[in-house]
A and B are shown apart, each in its own frame.
Chain A
């Protein structure tokens, strides 16, 4: 187990004027034993970052250290880490046992110890009955567990997960998520987990790194990221359905959007062009509400309903309990929200603005 430290990591492909920079100075400190999720939309550089930690991509600038040792020029196998790939990358011609033992065999671990370690990992992952099968005889979930087993047997300083759940169906994904959590509790190994799925990020992370376009947008616990998004990007990316974002002009306790002036429950942090954010689950439909919402569609999700409509010309979604009577289509309802639930972002930079 070890802490991982990233200092000002830059990645560019190509040279000179034609170089294409995909990571613009990423810094993060990951404590020993922490479970960190790197989340972001596709193409934001999160996988590249993970592959740089793994040693599969060269570092253009900056420094990566694992357990206090700078590993920029260390071969992947010598970094004392293990990686779980998205498509598992199991060796198709080897049995499950051999797949898990291969790294140890190369490291010239004594046979008896290989046996013991593989059986222990197989026990944890409930793979004992399948040790002599080849990967093609296993289901997706079992293959995924073999890939994790291959990582576990190496007893590494850190686990790297590259979207390991995205090839599983929804039910299995939820189940595997719990298993990964349990595994991390038992083994306590520093883990870096890359995903584009914000639900995975929220449920697994002790702390998460939200990335966008090669930059870190926010790093913090799921509560911090959800409760106090650092930018309008984070606000819209984390949470489902995403936060409503309305851009308009603030002036004291009123906000003008699309020619319509809304009264605010509390004054905006500053006057001028701002983006107002409000989560669908943080506003209510009530008779004494301040904002009129023209209802366009209502979605039934089981425990709750999503009411989609327009507020000052912009799309706006409200989540209400399914036990409440839903508004009629075409009806205009009044919305209310607690002052603490309003988020403000700068109109041009997208950065959070606090009072």
Chain B
């Protein structure tokens, strides 16, 4: 078990160590295994964008911001859209309801990569490249989340709906007063998953952005590596990587309290 843990943790440790040394120190043959003295210097350099001779030296601070905004927009958008569509699917009778459900379900089976070319075309035609809208909107629709919420809503007893009707709660009132509070555990879980998903988007931002100030940090890391042999300032790359890891970690740590709470009082 300890061995397994070490195997998982070692690259992380290495990244952390590397981000505290000068570029020269890392490049030497046995890489130093103990923290060096250049941590603050490196991180300041990375955040401020004075990275020196790398292929790209856009400020990481800006990238983090872009990443944060897109990840949040994707997460919040996804949850809102799928909550509402699941609500419609479960509680309203409308023509072709079954067909709509299956249409949503089928998109589960299409990976993003399959529809990336047409999506790019659409976004480009709409002039949304290099904008937050272009980065987020195509990723908001989520069959997975819709499906999950639908399954959850189906477990809510009918009598609760009827009690709310007797109490005079209209559909939206029922949604906000009763369904939403009951789903908060599922929402918390989805929030974590979708935030990490949004944060780690790589392929789509790579296509949809061309200007440096719209790079999310994940793409930014890639751009910092020159692709050639010498120029990589590994200390800075590693510092950026460590920074890029922070927000998802933070989200998991913060939302964990919710998870535990949700697990302790399973209520329906």
Contact = CB atoms under 8 A, between A and B. Distances in A.
A92 B165 contact: no
Nearest to B178: A91
Interface in A77-93: 77-78, 81-83, 85-87, 89-93
Interface string B135-177: 0000000000000000000000101101111111100010001
Contacts of A82: 166
Contacts of A102: 167, 169, 177
Contacts of B157: 87, 89
Nearest to A102: B167
Interface string B226-252: 000000000000000000000000000
B113 interface: no
Nearest to A104: B167
A89 B267 contact: no
B265 A83 contact: no
Contacts of B166: 54, 56, 76-77, 81-83, 103
Nearest to B173: A106
Interface string B115-139: 0000000000000000000000000
Contact of A89 (B160, B168, B177): B160
A86 B162 CA distance: 12
Interface residues of B, number: 19
A107 interface: yes
B162 A85 contact: yes
A93 B181 contact: yes
A103 B178 CA distance: 13
A14 to B, nearest CB: 15
Interface in A5-37: none
Given A56-B162, A87-B159, A92 B182 contact: yes
A136 interface: yes
Interface string A83-121: 101110111110000000011001100000000000000
B93 interface: no
A53 to B, nearest CB: 12
Nearest to A56: B162
Which of B159, B163, B178 has the largest number of chain A CB atoms within 10 A? Answer: B163
Nearest to A103: B167
A275 to B, nearest CB: 40
A87 B181 CA distance: 20
Interface residues of A, number: 25
Given A85-B163, A87-B159, A136 B168 contact: no
Interface string A105-144: 0110000000000000000000000000010100000000
Nearest to A54: B166
A55 B162 CA distance: 10
Nearest to A88: B159
A82 B167 CA distance: 8
B163 A91 contact: yes
A93 B267 CA distance: 8
Contacts of B160: 89, 91
Contacts of A75: 165, 168
Contact of B265 (A56, A89, A136): A136
A130 to B, nearest CB: 16
A102 B174 CA distance: 11
A85 B173 CA distance: 21
A89 B166 CA distance: 11
Contacts of A106: 167-169, 173
Nearest to B268: A92
Contacts of B265: 136
Nearest to B182: A93
A76 B165 contact: yes
30 contacts: A56-B162, A56-B166, A75-B165, A77-B166, A77-B168, A81-B166, A85-B159, A85-B162, A86-B159, A87-B157, A87-B159, A89-B157, A89-B159, A89-B160, A91-B163, A91-B164, A91-B178, A93-B178, A93-B181, A102-B169, A102-B177, A103-B166, A103-B167, A103-B168, A106-B167, A107-B168, A134-B267, A136-B265, A136-B267, A150-B167
Given A92-B267, A92-B268, A107-B168, 9 more contacts: A56-B166, A77-B167, A83-B163, A85-B163, A89-B160, A90-B163, A91-B160, A92-B182, A102-B167
Interface of A: 54-56, 75-78, 81-83, 85-87, 89-93, 102-103, 106-107, 134, 136, 150
Interface of B: 157, 159-160, 162-169, 173, 177-178, 181-182, 265, 267-268
